[in-house]
Amino acid sequence: MELLLTDEEKRLKAMVREFADRELAPRAAELDEREEFPWENVTGLRRLGLMGLSVDKAYGGAGGNAQQVTISVEEVARGCAATSAMYLTHLSLGAESIIRYGNEAQRTRYLPDLASGEKLGAFGLTEPSSGSDAANMRTTAVYRDGKYVLTGAKTFISNAPEAGVMVVFAATDPGQGARGVSAFLVDKDTPGLQVTPQHGKLGMRASSTGAVVFQECRVPESGLLGNEGQGFSIAMAVLDSSRISVAAQAVGIGQAALEAALRYSQQRESFGKPIAEHQAIQFMLADMATRLDAARLLARRAAQLKDAGLPYSREAAMAKLYASEAGHFACDRALQVHGGHGYFRDSPVERYYRDVRVTEIYEGTSEIQRLVIARSLLREAAAESQAQGENP
């Protein structure tokens, strides 16, 4: 894999890996146990200039590309999965929405603080009554007296309790379904905005999740992101992009599990020799490494397509689908290698196993990814069939 990286990418990977080993990994277990938001880790990411990695230099960012974000997210996730959840939500969802769809005034207002890490970004799409069915929007936005009045609720919103700005999706024309959804930039101190932290997650326990309620929340007209009715297409496009980051996150967690399994298998003995010398263990390690490398390459392909300005929706879905399942497989096998020791909380693989599970759920479940991939394949096949019919 190293052969595929440019010198600049190798330096980035080495820098983030060293930071993850020195600062993220040593804190991960305690933060998980206490469900404590990783502010120290945010400070470290800010210090390295990573909070604005994909933000244009004109707004205080590093001007990095999708491949660099993928590398960074993987290494952060390898050190602390919960920190990577905060990071990709901030960068690949919150900031990305403004980078791609904000006007100049919105970019100037929000991106410098997001790039510096002074403010965190969040992405308010999921509602209590709709997850995968994102077009079934119950939160409404009514234009009244020069402002949009938001009423409704969101749930499972990453970074919500800490976010300085949230991208919020609401129905401006409920009768139009997906075509009636619009996107808004809502500041943390907006009257009528209430955020309640949600605790008790299986994994990613140090990343914050919140329930959001809008009670006559008045957002100025300048807070409309894009045009009215464009919100659903904005959400889908940003999720396409962010799925590449989730793929990288799953690979990073799986890589941490693989490295833990390699270490343990060389130390643990059974039947008079290290278990690494048993063929059954070797097969598990080989399968873990192979699946993770394949997932890593799928994520890189999707990132390359994005950087080249080419369509990448199907490839991003493939990367997210395969990487999340490969990461889950790696964590499951790592726990098996550890045996009973892996089943207790003093082993890091217990945490990896819990953390990786959500990568098959958020930002589009594995079932949704399969639908995205299949529909793309069928459209392509139909177009090819039509073209052959017109040109016998």
296-324 confidence digits (pLDDT tens)? 999 999 999 999 999 999 999 999 999 99
Q: Is the dihedral of CA 31, 37, 43, 49 positive or negative?
A: positive
Write down all domains in the chain, each with its CATH number in brackets: 2-120 (1.10.540.10), 122-229 (2.40.110.10), 233-384 (1.20.140.10)
Amino acid at 304: Q
The dihedral over CA atoms of 215, 218, 222, 228, expressed in degrees to the nearest 10, equals: 50
Average pLDDT over every residue of 97-114 = 98
DSSP 84-119: HHHHHIIIIIIIHHHHHH--HHHHHHHHHHHHHTSS
Residue 55: its pLDDT value, please?
98
Residue 3: its pLDDT value, please?
66
Q: Is the pTM of this model over 0.85?
A: yes
pLDDT band at 135 (very low <50, low <70, confident <90, very high): confident
Show the tokens assigned to 277: 């010398």
Q: Are 62 and 95 in contact (CB under 8 A)?
A: no
Residue 373 and residue 370: Cα distance in Å, rounded? 5
Residue 2: its pLDDT value, please?
67
Q: Is the dihedral of CA 48, 53, 58, 60 positive or negative?
A: negative
Q: Give catalytic residue positions.
A: 363
The DSSP 8-state label assigned to residue 29 in this structure reads H
Percent of the chain with pLDDT over 90: 94
Residue 205 and residue 121: Cα distance in Å, rounded? 19
Show the tokens assigned to 356: 């990786």
pLDDT band at 223 (very low <50, low <70, confident <90, very high): very high
